[in-house]
Amino acid sequence: MEIGFLGLGIMGKAISVNLLRSGFKVTVWNRTLSKCGELLDLGASVEETPAAVIKKCKYTIAMLSDPVAALSVVFDKDGVLEQISSGKGYIDMSTVDADTSSKISEAILAKGGDFLEAPVSGSKKPAEDGQLVILAAGVQALYNEMIPVFNVVGKKSFYLGQVGNGAKMKLVVNMIMGSMMNALSEGLILADRSGLEPKVLLDVLDLAAIANPMFKLKGPAMIERNYPPAFPLKHQQKDMRLALALGDENAVSMPVAAAANEAFKKARSLGLGDLDFSAVHETLEAAKPPH
Ligand SMILES: NC(=O)C1=CN([C@@H]2O[C@H](COP(=O)(O)OP(=O)(O)OC[C@H]3O[C@@H](n4cnc5c(N)ncnc54)[C@H](OP(=O)(O)O)[C@@H]3O)[C@@H](O)[C@H]2O)C=CC1
Ligand SMILES: O=CCCC(=O)O
């Protein structure tokens, strides 16, 4: 099975390497073409435009930064729409809003192609290890055809029905995650400032009802003020922004998420957008008076 892959950022690279290692033929494209070199060395083919990838492959997956990128790769010159046709499937794994996903879906279906949105939960390491959680929605026949791929990419895939439901589920999950990250950051600072050992706080949390893999993974590095990017902070803030817009549409009051979004915006304004989203901790660390 030959798979096209558009977008070789942190996630796209990890997923396409995993597909190659699992025996799939993969043809890649990235806006910054030089980033395709590593995949070429691992056995992938490279094309110079999204349209050329679509022309070559029956199924093409995209993993792009945000709604602007997802729309551009489909609608711009040399984009997906120029070559999509009956018998071809386009699967967008980018985290975007339901409206963006619906626009892409309508355009692909109008050309006779099939479309699935399939954003993922899980970050760089789960992507490398094929342990993502896939939140798919759209053409069910395409979902069924993609199961052998999803079984390699993830540990579980959900089919959520009509296009938009995958995007919404992903935004709800990341809205909760972003709020939790800010709560952890405040807790670490509060422990420290009140004379407690933040590392002991992490041990207590890990045994408590609120234990979770994210606190366990990110907490120790946050104490060290170390934020190597797995999930870039600029993308987490984009997800909070899109989740808050979903809240607006549905008249859902989300004061906790709104405060978390402000903290991520503050972190971006401090130039931390390309670090891991746990770098939101610096908005508090940097404000802490010296001992
Ligand atoms: N990192 C993570 O842990 C997770 C991320 N996600 C989501 O997955 C998506 C990708 O994330 P991630 O890999 O971390 O992001 P990166 O920032 O590492 O990569 C972004 C990718 O999008 C491309 N891109 C950006 N703008 C454009 C554009 N205008 N036209 C074409 N291509 C563009 C980049 O190309 P170029 O190299 O040229 O800049 C790059 O390939 C995002 O939607 C994110 O929210 C979902 C789950 C986990
Ligand atoms: O969108 C990013 C999700 C990151 C994660 O689930 O760890």
pLDDT tens-digit map of 138-149: 999 999 999 999
For residue 291 the two structure tokens come to: 């001992």
Q: Residue 200: its pLDDT value, please?
A: 98
pLDDT tens digits along 71-85: 999 999 999 999 999
What mean pLDDT, rounded, does the chain reach? 97
Is 101's pLDDT higher than 60?
Answer: yes
Q: Residue 291: its pLDDT value, please?
A: 52
Distance between Cα 47 and ligand 1 center (Å): 18
This complex has an ipTM of 0.99
Is 42's pLDDT higher than 80?
Answer: yes
CATH of 168-285, one of 1.10.10.10, 1.20.1290.10, 3.30.565.10, 1.10.1040.10: 1.10.1040.10
Ligand 1, atom 42: closest residue by C-alpha: 65
pLDDT tens digits along 274-289: 999 999 999 998 776 5
Q: Residue 288: its pLDDT value, please?
A: 65
- State the residue for tokens 């390491």: 125
Q: Residue 205: its pLDDT value, please?
A: 98
Q: Can you identify the CATH homologous superfamily of domain 2-162?
A: NAD(P)-binding Rossmann-like Domain (3.40.50.720)
The number of beta carbons lying within 10 Å of the beta carbon of residue 144 is 10
- State the residue for tokens 């896939």: 134
Distance between Cα 234 and ligand 2 center (Å): 13
pLDDT tens digits along 156-214: 999 999 999 999 999 999 999 999 999 999 999 999 999 999 999 999 999 999 999 99
**pLDDT average, residue stretch 93-107:** 98
CA distance readout (Å), 13 to 26, 35, 191, 288: 11, 9, 38, 37
Percent of the chain having pLDDT more than 90? 97
The number of beta carbons lying within 10 Å of the beta carbon of residue 236 is 27
Distance between Cα 192 and ligand 1 center (Å): 35
DSSP string, 82-99: GT--TT-EEEE-S---HH
**pLDDT average, residue stretch 90-102:** 98
DSSP 8-state secondary structure symbol assigned to residue 163: T
Count CA atoms closer than 13 A to 159's CA, side-chain side: 13
Ligand 2: residues within 6 Å at CB?
Answer: 95, 121-123, 174, 231
Atom of ligand 1 nearest to the CA of 32: 38
Indicate the domain borders of the chain.
2-162, 168-285
SS3 3: strand
pLDDT tens digits along 237-269: 999 999 999 999 999 999 999 999 999 999 999
Question: Does the global pTM surpass 0.95?
Answer: yes
Of the candidates 170, 218, 234, 238, the residue annotated as catalytic is 170
Distance of alpha carbon 251 from the chain centroid: 25
**pLDDT average, residue stretch 95-101:** 98
Q: Which amino acid is at 53?
A: V
Q: Residue 286: its pLDDT value, please?
A: 75
> Is the torsion defined by CA of 87, 29, 240, 229 positive or negative?
positive
